[in-house]
Structure 1
């Protein structure tokens, strides 16, 4: 069932335009889609699949998508989907994704693009799209592709991490820092690995990486390519095969205490809260994941003199590239290498500029530079949800 919010609720900016509970009778899972905003009949966001995901969490994430897309100048609203699998869902993953696709089909065809997020893969997304009979390349007004959607994203799998690395490199240039700088990365999934590779390629030293089992450290620099080869699809590093020189810390937040110049947060929400702020060693904190710092923690970090690059500015690569294609902003009929290069340049330019603005506003004493940027961009919210076909 779904519920369309009243005009009064829509006017309340703390509420989304639409919050929908999906009926998925053929599998052991619950699902939701939250649409925070519509711009020109479009909204987009990822699909998160975790046992603990909630409708409230999705509302916060959908709001963040509204902000991300507005800040890069895309004419698309924010949305987010969630799947909470039951105990039996692990063995019927394909069924879950197909049921999700069938249930979300009216929204997909009505202008709400639902891509990948924590807990879902490109293969999962393709199953959902097939079940929904949805082909993003066939959407009127979208960029015409010379390859399939799946092939494009196989080629662009690192784009979010690439955008985070662009933000780090820009912040280091602005500070006058020279390579090699010491980098700590909390989270070694798709985003964290891509950040590590891009920063290492620019001469910086990844001195520590954290996954769900704890933190590994080598102040001389971890071998990023070798480390990636030891990492499973879930972002967990095989400790048994690590070089002897690597120091292994147990579970907990050892990554906070490691001497470094840059801390990249690329895993769980609220990884740095108020209590953790005094423990942060790095002078630059980069939110490579969704809501990596709490609001009060961001403020305290800035007040302590640290540079903080927020998630809505740096964790936008995948959404921005997808949005360019959905909105038809990317040139049509380009061969894959040229399209990839165009999208990367577009993403890089906007992330770099927004990071510069955040740093300028922070230096001028702004306690919430993102709100200043959003006010300048003037994000729009549609007054109705009727265009969604639900």
Structure 2
């Protein structure tokens, strides 16, 4: 594709990753654009009445990467950084993630360019409902199923579901996942990504022969994913020695009390103010010595500048796209020093349990929490084994192996279905 509407550093990172995998798989040049570029991209204007009487228009996006295996699936992000390139990259990564996990989905992503923390509750509801209203012609339970992401939550999903249902004249629980239990959500969805990260870290520790009780961890990003991953790791005996969010970073080699951290977050809504003694610069937190480093915040935090200085044994990518291609090359040069759990494997717990929620909504039959997590861990175990086996067999990095599996699945399905004339 000579010209494209997709640009920016996040999309370029996704493109470079795909090119590396396509070269490894020897995918013909004529087949690459069809695998990489999204099927559909939607841009909408979302006007709302502000509390002060003004009318303000926000830009919203939704990108559906492919519908070859089933409906598309992906989160909705409310953040100032949202643009079409970022959304497209996240949709592409979601495609490989779903294919690696064996889910009948293509990847999607959406969002609005807004700082949700600068909206009142009424304004947030108005913007959420307007966005879904604009998306109604393009989404559906068998076309595109939304979920929460950065800046959105269970309440926003409930507003999405209600807006779509009002236009359909009936309750359509399965149009979104990540909903409250009272609105058709599933047990375990909120904890799924963080607990999935902890499960895979546990498997990596076993693989490396490191007892969990002897391990230390640093969590960069203490939101939903990072805090639950920290709590779950602590339950396994791992000592949490560093945490951060967008307001503060703390490091204490003697260990931080996760329960006290969570209590502070509950009271204050942020890490700032937790302690004055263990404060550290956020950029310095990433390069402190630890057994497990979990980047669980935003993209592009492990870079060509700091990858050389990482002192972890396991890099568990709780966020999407935290490691740049330049950093990947450095990690590969470091050989077996760092065991990478790539994002499309490590943080797949969220979309896997979202799939379970969608299935339960369609069937109107809901599972107990133990069944949800039993099924989740079985899928993660299979994906982990497939990734490790392929990496060992082909002598390639774990990210390359995981993406190769995902790309192969999508490529095979497209080849089998053919190209509509």
| TM superposition score category, shorter chain reference | 0.7 to 0.9
Taking the TM superposition and a 5 Å limit, the aligned residue runs for 1:139-150 are 148-149=182-183
2:279 matched residue in structure 1: 248
1:22 and 2:22 equivalent?
Answer: no
Structure 2 unaligned regions, length at least 5: 1-29, 49-55
* Change in 2 beyond 3 A, CA 1:156/1:13: closer
The whole-number CA distance in structure 1 between the counterparts of 2:351 and 2:409 is 17
Structure 1 unaligned regions, length at least 5: 1-7, 386-390
2:406 matched residue in structure 1: 374
Q: Deviations over 1:248-275 (max 9, x none)?
A: 113x411122110110110110110111
Taking the TM superposition and a 5 Å limit, the aligned residue runs for 1:48-59 are 48-59=77-88
Aligned to 1:249, the other structure's residue is in SS state coil
Q: Deviations over 1:207-230 (max 9, x none)?
A: 111222342112121110111111
Q: 1:258 aligns with which of 256, 273, 288?
A: 288
* Change in 2 beyond 3 A, CA 1:50/1:214: same
Contact 1:34 1:58 (C-alpha < 8 Å) held by counterparts: yes
Contact 1:28 1:88 (C-alpha < 8 Å) held by counterparts: no
Contact 2:216 2:239 (C-alpha < 8 Å) held by counterparts: yes
Aligned to 2:301, the other structure's residue is in SS state coil
Taking the TM superposition and a 5 Å limit, the aligned residue runs for 1:83-94 are 83-85=112-114, 90-91=119-120, 92-94=123-125
Contact 2:98 2:351 (C-alpha < 8 Å) held by counterparts: yes
1:160 and 2:210 equivalent?
Answer: no
Contact 2:287 2:306 (C-alpha < 8 Å) held by counterparts: no
| TM-score for the superposition, normalised by structure 2 | 0.79
Alpha-carbon offset, residue 298 of structure 1: 2.3
The whole-number CA distance in structure 1 between the counterparts of 2:116 and 2:255 is 40
1:358 and 2:387 equivalent?
Answer: yes
The whole-number CA distance in structure 2 between the counterparts of 1:118 and 1:130 is 21
Aligned residues: 367
1:119 matched residue in structure 2: 151
1:5 matched residue in structure 2: none
Alpha-carbon offset, residue 376 of structure 1: 4.9
Which stretch of the first structure deviates more once superposed, 107-116 or 201-210? 107-116
Q: Specify which structure has the bigger relative contact order, considering alpha-carbon pairs within 8 angstroms and separated by 6 or more residues.
A: 1
2:374 matched residue in structure 1: 345
Q: 2:227 aligns with which of 193, 209, 220?
A: 193
2:259 matched residue in structure 1: 225
Q: 2:202 aligns with which of 156, 169, 186?
A: 169
Q: 1:324 aligns with which of 349, 356, 360?
A: 356
1:12 matched residue in structure 2: 34
| TM-score for the superposition, normalised by structure 1 | 0.85
1:274 matched residue in structure 2: 304
The whole-number CA distance in structure 2 between the counterparts of 1:34 and 1:138 is 19
Q: Deviations over 1:153-207 (max 9, x none)?
A: 6x53111101111110010011111123000110000000000110000111001
Alpha-carbon offset, residue 94 of structure 1: 1.3
Contact 1:47 1:114 (C-alpha < 8 Å) held by counterparts: yes
Contact 1:263 1:285 (C-alpha < 8 Å) held by counterparts: yes
1:333 and 2:362 equivalent?
Answer: no
Please give the root-mean-square deviation of Cα atoms over the aligned residues, in Å.
3.1
Aligned to 2:107, the other structure's residue is in SS state strand
